[in-house]
Structure 1
């Protein structure tokens, strides 16, 4: 068993805005549209990240949460060929090699909360709670740890909005409504208990660029 870490001097909150490069953020920060990000940038360190090859969501986020390159964590796409067959299956966290950041923290005795991070289904047991992200197959699946958290999350209905058969205006309206619901989930989960580490990812910043 890993040796417990010393008492934390600070808590960590990680916010993920998927698909948002600094080439978009810097002009908006300079124009005064993002005052919170401006304060965070001014008071800390920031910079660009070199992504994975290929720079796909499933691959890059798995590298983020394990610290491993694709050759070591084993996720190369959203799908993989089934060995010995000509069929494909969706990839998910069950096919990943390497320990996640929150697994390492949990093993060291830290309390963690993880919400909506891509490639975290099925949810792994952690010292805290985990709500799976992008690869979750649906609201009827077992996508939360602990399992009893699912009823509370389903009540908010935070699932991502589909673009199929919708105008841009309708999609934008439903997206903004969905963001409000996910922020309701954020405040509910972050107030559940004292945490040493909390991570939240907003995927609509990427999805809306596909519209």
Structure 2
């Protein structure tokens, strides 16, 4: 058996994590140690915030038959969480194989050392540099930049070094996605069109009955006239104008007077929604 260097050790750790899903970590192990090749695949299923104790209790009670089937086909092992036990920290540990001292993610937020104000820990956002004004227009002479704050290499980047293909769907704490030729899609921590994390818009005819201020989004009062609602969906701020107006697009909702069904029309798209 050849000596195991740091990269191989990390890969072995990844294969151990894969045992949680299908118990196919041995295939990755054979590639790592230079043994026979195999076409079998490893699948890692990650669920944010899940409690392994409750998962086991509910599986024993027969409430999670799909998870029970998955465990019976493969394996199930508990993994120690991060310190502190917060989602961006834990996922960064998982992605890099390092603790917060290595990857630099300690919380949901970081402090700006120049202003001592909290900022999003996942990515560093820089606006465009020099700008020129022409009337009410603001034209940047260079583009802005969004830089991933997490340090270290992701495990799929290391797999790429060994020509092992991987596909990563909705990986938390990976926006913008780490440079790689692998197929990756970022997940939790990816900003929406207005630059926030999961901003919502709530439309209601009972606006005056809402007793509490709901954070994280906007509440819009609408009126139903002849089974139709006219509203607008707010979008990102127009930074190319000096007054920075909020962009929006119109939407129309047609309500079925008999059945709990509504048709939503927005631009050139139509959606049918049913109650429940």
TM-score bucket of the superposed structures, by smaller chain:
0.5 to 0.7
Return the offset for 1:96.
1.4
Q: Separation in 2 of the partners of 1:105 and 1:47?
A: 23
Alignment-derived partner of residue 152 in structure 2: 98
Relative distance call for 1:27 and 1:74 in structure 2 (3 A) is same
Q: Separation in 2 of the partners of 1:13 and 1:118?
A: 17
- TM-score by structure 2 length? 0.47
Determine which of 62, 66, 69 is the counterpart of 2:96.
66
Residue aligned with 2:93, SS: helix
Return the offset for 1:160.
6.2
Q: Are the aligned partners of 2:173 and 2:187 in contact in 1 as well (CA < 8 Å)?
A: yes
Determine which of 60, 63, 66 is the counterpart of 1:33.
63
Residue aligned with 1:131, SS: strand
Q: Separation in 1 of the partners of 2:202 and 2:91?
A: 25
Relative distance call for 1:37 and 1:96 in structure 2 (3 A) is same
Q: Separation in 1 of the partners of 2:173 and 2:84?
A: 15
Residue aligned with 1:10, SS: coil
| Residues matched between the structures, number | 149
Return the offset for 1:139.
5.0
Alignment-derived partner of residue 107 in structure 1: 161
Residue aligned with 1:125, SS: coil
Q: Are the aligned partners of 2:109 and 2:120 in contact in 1 as well (CA < 8 Å)?
A: yes
- Answer 1 or 2: higher relative contact order, Cα 8 Å, separation at least 6: 1
Alignment-derived partner of residue 49 in structure 1: 79
Q: Separation in 1 of the partners of 2:184 and 2:63?
A: 32
Trace 1:1-211 onto structure 2 (pairs within 5 A).
7-92=37-122, 94-139=148-193, 162=200
Return the offset for 1:55.
0.4
Return the offset for 1:163.
9.6
Point out where structure 2 has 5 or more consecutive residues left out of the alignment: 1-6, 9-30, 124-147, 205-209, 211-276
Relative distance call for 1:47 and 1:126 in structure 2 (3 A) is same
Return the offset for 1:162.
4.9
